[in-house]
Amino acid sequence: MTDTITRAVVEPAPPPTPVRRRRGRVRELHVLLALVVVLVVVAVFPGLVTWHDPYELDGLPFTAPNGDFPFGTDEIGRDLYSRVVHGLRVSLFSAVLAVVVALAGGAVIGVLSGLRPGGLLDRALGILTEAVMAIPGVLLALAVITTYGRGAFVAAVAIGIGEATGFARLIRGCVIQAGTLTYVEAARTCGAGPLRVVFRHVVPSIHHPVLSYTALHFGLAMLAIGSLSYLGFGEAPPSAEWGVLIAGGQKYLAHAWWVAVVPGLALTAVVVLFSRIAYLSQKDNR
């Protein structure tokens, strides 16, 4: 009798603790990051994984997916698989450009306004970011494209400018919060100047939320660039940019679904990948 009691206490079933869940999250994050690395390699060297030229008419029009053409062919017989892989480069790198523009702009504005909240500079920059926020992102991008001509990279810069406002707000908040940390005040009373305080103490303490926000917006930027190309304001055919592929394929949806659906799925998958990374890296900090 006593025996069973003690055993019941001594050997409790290992509960699915948050520790375990956390370890699972870390593992998943590593897998997803490895996938990102694969994507980048493929984007840089698309020839490694394709065997047809994306612009040559290698097959018959509207060949259904088969061994030689894994994703089938499009309306004039180009290999869709090869086009999707080659299109990744444009999509990925224009999204990188958009996020770099957004992060750089947002960091400068956010740090400058967070240094003295409520100061003259903060108020001026606040008005500026709110003015930009008031304009819908797509409209802003269209205005930039109309002025500077179409193309994925122009669209990327335009989207980056729109998204910089969100980054600026986030970073401003983080900087203000970090300013109240005792060790930041301690650095100030040690005689450290404002630049020193920012680069040595504030920036390192806020990089976590900013990184996860960046991952999320990377995916969203890809989506926005795709949308612009789809509308005809980004890349132009015969480019293999995904938005262009979707736009080109939608006319044939009824009898050759793969021409539009496959690039659409690819875009969705990559966006989900990045938002999942954002989610996991945010969870991981707590």
Partner 1 sequence: MTPLVWITGLTVAYRRAHDDVEDTALESVSLDVPAGQVTAVIGESGSGKSTLAHAVVRLLPHNGHIRSGRIELGGEDVLLRGDREFRALRGRHIGFVPQDPVASLNPTKTVGAQLKEAFSLARSPLSPQAVEERIHQDLLDVGFADPAALLARYPHELSGGMRQRVLVTIAFSQRPRLVIADEPTSALDVLVGKEVLTAIHAARVRHDTTVVLITHDLAVASRNAQHVVVMERGVVVETGPVEQVFAHPEHPYTRALLASSARVAQGRVLSIAEAHLRRAVQPVRETGQPVVELEAVSKRFGTARRGTLAVDGVSLTVPRGSTFALVGESGSGKTTTSRLVLGLERPDAGSVRVLGRSVPDLRRGELRDLRRRMQVVYQSPFESLNPRLSLRGIISEPLDAYRIGSRAERLARVDELLDLVRLPRSYRDRRPTELSGGQRQRVAIARALALRPELLVLDEPVSALDATVQARVLELLTELQRELDLTYFLITHDLAVVSDVAQRVAVMRAGRIVEHGTTSDVILTPHDDYTQALLAV
Q: Please, how many CA atoms are within 13 Å of residue 47, restricted to the half-sphere of its CB? A: 0
Task: Work out how close the CB of 34 gets to partner 1 at its nearest, in angstroms, rounded to a whole number.
Answer: 20
Residues sharing a CB contact under 8 Å with residue 54, sequence separation 6 or more, in sequence order: 46, 78, 79, 82, 83, 85, 86, 87, 240
d(CA 80, CA 258): 9
Q: Tell me whether residue 40 or residue 192 sits nearer to partner 1 (CB atom).
A: 192
Q: Tell me whether residue 186 or residue 272 sits nearer to partner 1 (CB atom).
A: 186
**Cα separation values, 243 from 2, 41, 127, 170, 264, Å:** 70, 21, 34, 29, 8
Task: Work out how close the CB of 1 gets to partner 1 at its nearest, in angstroms, rounded to a whole number.
Answer: 12
Task: Work out how close the CB of 84 gets to partner 1 at its nearest, in angstroms, rounded to a whole number.
Answer: 39
Instruction: Identify whether the C-beta of residue 112 lies closer than 8 Å to the C-beta of residue 176.
Output: no
> What tokens were used for 117?
């909240």
Task: Work out how close the CB of 106 gets to partner 1 at its nearest, in angstroms, rounded to a whole number.
Answer: 22
Task: Work out how close the CB of 19 gets to partner 1 at its nearest, in angstroms, rounded to a whole number.
Answer: 5
Q: Tell me whether residue 22 or residue 30 sits nearer to partner 1 (CB atom).
A: 22
Q: Tell me whether residue 90 or residue 178 sits nearer to partner 1 (CB atom).
A: 178
For residue 256, give the 3-state DSSP assignment: coil
d(CA 232, CA 141): 12
Q: Tell me whether residue 147 or residue 182 sits nearer to partner 1 (CB atom).
A: 182
Residues sharing a CB contact under 8 Å with residue 61, sequence separation 6 or more, in sequence order: 73, 74, 75, 76, 77
Q: Tell me whether residue 115 or residue 155 sits nearer to partner 1 (CB atom).
A: 115
> DSSP labels for 70-101?
TT-B-TT--BHHHHHHHHHHHHHHHHHHHHHH
Task: Work out how close the CB of 199 gets to partner 1 at its nearest, in angstroms, rounded to a whole number.
Answer: 12
d(CA 58, CA 73): 9
H runs (alpha helix) in 180-202: 182-189, 194-197
For residue 180, give the 3-state DSSP assignment: coil
Task: Work out how close the CB of 12 gets to partner 1 at its nearest, in angstroms, rounded to a whole number.
Answer: 7
Q: Tell me whether residue 65 or residue 117 sits nearer to partner 1 (CB atom).
A: 117
Residues that bind partner 1 (CB under 8 A): 5-6, 8-10, 12, 15, 17-19, 22-23, 181-183, 185-187, 189-193, 196, 200-201, 204-205
